[in-house]
Amino acid sequence: MGVARRLGSRRATRVGLVFLALFLALGVWPTSWLPHDPTEVNLGLANRPGLWAGNWSQPLGTDFLGRDLLSRSVYAARLTLVIGLGAVTIATLVGTVVGLLAGYFAGWVDEVLSWLIDVQLAFPMIALAVAVIAVLGGSLTSLIGVLAATSWFTTARVVRAQVLAVKASLFIEAAGALGAGSVRTVFRHILPNVVSPILAVATFEMARLVLTESALSFLGLGVSSPQTTWGAMIGDGRAYVYESWWVATVPGLLIAALVIAFNFVGDGLRDAMDPTSYASSGRTGGGGLRSEQATEP
Amino acid sequence: MSQWVAWRLVRMFLVWIGVTLVAFLLLRLTGDPARVVLGEFASPAAMAAYRAEQGLDRPWPAQYVSFVSKALRGDLGTSLRFREPNLKVIVERLPATLELALASLLISALVGVPLGVVTALRRDSAFDVVARGLVLLALGIPNFFLAILFVLLFGVELGWLPTGGRGGLGHLVMPAVVLSFLLLPLTVRITRSSVLDNLSMDYVRTARGKGVGSRAIVWRHVLRNASLPVVTVLGVQSALLLSGAVVTETIFSWPGIGRLLVTSITGRDFPLVQSAILVVSTGVVLIGFFVDLCYAALDPRLGRSRG
């Protein structure tokens, strides 16, 4: 397949991939190399500016408890990624199964599953997520679960549409004529043909979920201290933003960079799979996989 | 056509039933609504009294039926905090939320559509590249972070705009602009790709061949055809504005439903939370229905084929 090569042929995609690799490395690497303990409180050093004020000891400054922002940002990268990846994995698995079932069996299975998707689309997701977390109590598991719940139907819709298209092809008919059962047809013949769009959707959803998680954490419904994510760090910095703008700005820019990197890679994936799109000119098409879903705060 | 409308109505009602189910289950996620509503430290007597008063000792299906039939009659229960009917509390805050949503929808359309058209017509020009870069940035920056920066810059440093509350036009500007950043990137992208798609269509070539000027082609043909997906997406995504309002309203102390939701959750007023979510979702279902109707009216092919 030329997908990998076409993927690497775009500069924006390469930039996105490099950034993602960097963020992943930061998240996976042990934090022992960090200059300071990310959770160490030192009130004497509270709200100190970083390099721009000649502070080489804490290059990105400190927050209201005197914690080193560089160390904290790296420390928070791990949980930010774990929550996003965890939620997107669950959402993709559920969405794929639902989409396959709805697309392949059609009839009442499709009606029921489409109804479920319509119901879910009716809810203002942030509001519902906020309410569910408030009822269940905030924890890593409930956060990942709620985020997955706001995302699975995007995959389900795309997979369903793809399955409907693939199902009409001759080779599926041939598989049926050769005696392949439903399960075999779905998993051996249909699934491999819808993997690429699933990957692209997952990439865009990852970007969206990072933003949603940051909004929930900002509202104080995310993970609880000492655990932290970039969104929670913005929440920490909000009250001190007038005296020390960097406390909220550092994690804010990190989130933006991560989300944009995922979007670059998603655009690249979509174009690499779709020979009709203008891969070389980097057309930012909204018409493809992305059209139905916008980014929540 | 009337059959199609009837079918849409049935579907809308079925979706609404699903919405009520979710709202109903929300309070029962932990198994005991009395504990959710009254909190961890409520006395057993108080909980028993609450259960009896709310009919929570009856079987779930019976509770659900009475929940829906009451909701249909406009009875959404009473708020614990305000000691007033939930519906009244919510309706009082509805104008603020609608004002904010409409203002940001307007900004998204007035800025996003021209930007999408121009970037499509001048594809790969410097303007296109810069504009798309900015759109990407708008997509990536967390909305609430943007709000903080705006407050800092325009509210505190420059002192041009009030930093919170609802009043005149000045109060509306910052929250509306921040909220519009949710839909703006999508609007630009959809408009741009829709115009690009239409520019490569056969009818454009035919019009060119007939000697129609490029300005006339764009204004009379392309824009008209390209508008349909844009209108649909904006309509469908209005739900997003109501959702995004939760964060934006909280930051700007905007007295709408989003902020009501957050303060109700902090105040453990779960009957109000449940009702607010039900009201907003019902609104979204209705909007979806009307978008479908408009779509069918604009494009007569769809009325028949979409069943």
User: How many CB atoms lie under 10 A from the CB of residue A44?
Assistant: 8
| Residue closest to B150 by CA, chosen among B250, A208, B112, B158 | B158
> For A22-68, how does the pLDDT look when each residue is reduced to its tens digit (9 = 90+)?
888 888 877 777 777 877 787 877 777 877 877 777 778 888 787 88
Output phi, psi for B164, to 5 deg: -175, 170
DSSP code of residue B152: I
Please report which helix (H) or strand (E) contains residue B279, including its range.
helix B270-298
Instruction: Tell me which residue of A204, A195, A173 sits closest to A100, measured CA to CA.
Output: A195
Q: What does the DSSP 8-state code read for residue B218?
A: I
Report the alpha-carbon distance of residue B143 to residue B137 in Å, rounded. 11
The DSSP letter of residue B116 is H
Contacts of A73 (CB under 8 A, 6+ apart): A60, A230, A233, A250, A251, A254
> How far is B143 from A295, CA to CA, in rounded Å?
10
Residue A101 has pLDDT above 70, yes or no: yes
Angle B95-B99-B102 from CA coordinates, rounded to 5°? 135
Burial of A210 by CB count in 10 Å (0-12 exposed, 13-18 middle, 19+ buried)? buried
A16 CB contacts (<8 Å, ≥6 apart)?
A260, A261, A262, A263, A264, A265, A268
- The alpha-helical segments, DSSP class H, found in chain A are 3-8, 11-28, 69-105, 107-122, 125-136, 140-149, 152-167, 170-177, 182-184, 191-218, 230-238, 246-273
Chain A positions in Cβ-Cβ contact with residue B232 (cut-off 8 Å) = none
Give me the residue label for tokens 């994995």: A89
**A256–chain B nearest CA distance, Å:** 4
pLDDT band at A288 (very low <50, low <70, confident <90, very high): very low
User: Is the pLDDT at A291 greater than 60, yes or no?
Assistant: no
Q: How far is CA A129 from CA A38, A260, B114, B232, B277, in A?
A: 29, 24, 34, 26, 11
Contact call for residues A204 and A290 (beta carbons, < 8 A):
yes
Q: Is B297 exposed, middle or buried (0-12, 13-18, 19+ CB in 10 A)?
A: exposed
In the DSSP assignment, the letter for residue B161 is S
Answer whether B216's CB lies under 8 Å from B139's CB.
no
Instruction: Verify whether the Cβ–Cβ distance B29 to A135 is below 8 Å.
Output: yes
The mean of the pLDDT values for chain A is 80
CA dist list (Å): B95 to A249, B72, B242, B251: 33, 22, 12, 18
CA angle at residue A270 from B140 to A88, to 5 degrees?
Answer: 60
Residue A257 token pair: 């960079």
Do A296 and B135 count as a contact with CB atoms less than 8 A apart? no
Q: State the pTM of this model.
A: 0.83
> Which residues in chain A are closer than 8 Å to B141, comparing Cβ atoms?
252, 255-256
For A249-287, what is each residue's pLDDT tens digit? Answer: 888 999 999 999 998 888 888 777 765 544 333 333 333
Query: Which of A231, A285, A297 is facing B193, going by the closest CB pair?
Result: A285
Q: Which residues pair with B78 in a beta bridge?
A: B85
CA–CA min distance A44, chain B (Å): 25
Nearest CB neighbour to A127, from listed B21, B143, B246: B246
Are B182 and A234 a contacting pair at CB < 8 A? no
Residue A255 contacts residue A210 (beta carbons within 8 Å): yes
Residue range A204-227: average pLDDT? 86
Cα nearest neighbour of B262 on chain A: A130
pLDDT at A282: 36
Where do the DSSP E strands lie in chain B? none
- For residue A127, the chain B residues in CB contact (below 8 A) are 242-243, 246, 258, 261, 276-277, 280
Q: Which value, in Å, is the radius of gyration of the alpha carbons in chain A?
A: 22
d(CA A90, CA A97): 11
Say yes or no for a CB contact (<8 Å) between B156 and A242. Answer: yes
Q: Report the residue from B15, B148, B237 with minimal CB separation from A248.
A: B148
Q: Tell me the Ramachandran region of residue A275: left when phi exceeds 0, alpha when psi lies from -120 to 50, beta otherwise.
A: alpha
Distance CA B41, CA A171 (A): 63
**Distance (Å, whole) CA B172 – CA B144:** 16
- Reported confidence tier of residue A4, pLDDT bands at 50, 70, 90: low
How far apart (Å, rounded) are the C-alpha atoms in residues A297 and B142? 6
Q: Average pLDDT in the A69-74 region?
A: 86
Cα distances (angstroms) measured from residue B192 to each of A285, B10, B112, B116, B218:
7, 35, 9, 4, 13
pLDDT band at A88 (very low <50, low <70, confident <90, very high): very high
Asked if residue A161 has pLDDT above 70, the reply is yes
Residue A289 has pLDDT above 50, yes or no: no
Cβ–Cβ below 8 Å for A115 and B192: no
pLDDT at A258: 92
> Over chain B (307 residues), what is each successive 10-residue block's mean pLDDT?
82 90 81 75 82 79 86 84 87 90 90 89 85 86 87 82 78 88 87 83 80 77 78 73 81 88 82 87 85 73 49
What pLDDT sits at residue A297?
Answer: 43
Residue A234 with chain B: CB contacts under 8 Å: 142, 144-145, 148
Angle at the Cα of B252 from the Cα atoms of A84 and B39, rounded to 5 degrees: 65
The nearest CA of chain A is from the CA of B215 a distance in Å of 23
Residue B19: how many other CB atoms lie within 10 Å: 23
CA distance B205 to chain A (A): 19
The alpha carbon of residue A212 is apart from the nearest alpha carbon of chain B, in Å, by 9
What is the C-alpha separation between B211 and B201, in angstroms, rounded? 16
ipTM over 0.90: no
d(CA A216, CA A254): 17
Higher-confidence position of A84 and B155: A84
CB contact under 8 A, A122 and B15: yes
Contacts of B285 in chain A (CB under 8 A): 122
Please judge whether A238 and B148 are an interchain contact, meaning their C-beta atoms are less than 8 angstroms apart. yes
CA B67 to chain centre: 25
Inter-chain CB pairs, A–B, below 8 Å = 192
SS3 assignment, position A5: helix
Contact B176/B184 with Cβ under 8 angstroms?
A: no
Contacts of B193 in chain A (CB under 8 A): 283-287
Nearest Cα residue in chain B from A211: B142
What b/e string do you get for B244-254 counting C-beta neighbours within 10 Å, with b at 16 or more? bbbbbbbbbeb
